[in-house]
Amino acid sequence: MRDQDVLLNVVFEIKKIVDRYVEVGSCYPEIAMDRLVELFERQELVIVIDRLERGFGSLRREAVGAP
């Protein structure tokens, strides 16, 4: 799976977690937080973030018109 696909999937999962929390009106925010922490600790996401922080997959400046 490409890095952008991993990131997009994570964003969708975050939205589901937040929507479910808001929809239910839960008085247990720790459950939602636990799910979010589990999501952010996924090895595939950690690897993607590491690659992006090291500059892999970043846009080239000239491609976006930056000086």
pLDDT digits (tens, 9 = 90+) for 12-22: 999 998 888 88
Does residue 67 form part of some domain?
no
Q: Which amino acid is at 38?
A: E
Q: What's the CA gap between 47 and 61, in Å, rounded?
A: 24
Does residue 22 form part of some domain?
yes
* pLDDT the model gives residue 15: 93
- Rounded to two decimals, the pTM is 0.68
- Please tell me which residue, 28 or 36, carries the higher pLDDT value: 36
Does residue 34 form part of some domain?
yes
Does residue 27 form part of some domain?
yes
Does residue 66 form part of some domain?
no
Per-residue pLDDT band at 58 (split at 50, 70, 90): low
Does residue 18 form part of some domain?
yes
Total domain count, the chain: 1
Range of the domain at 45: 3-55
* pLDDT the model gives residue 61: 42
Per-residue pLDDT band at 26 (split at 50, 70, 90): low
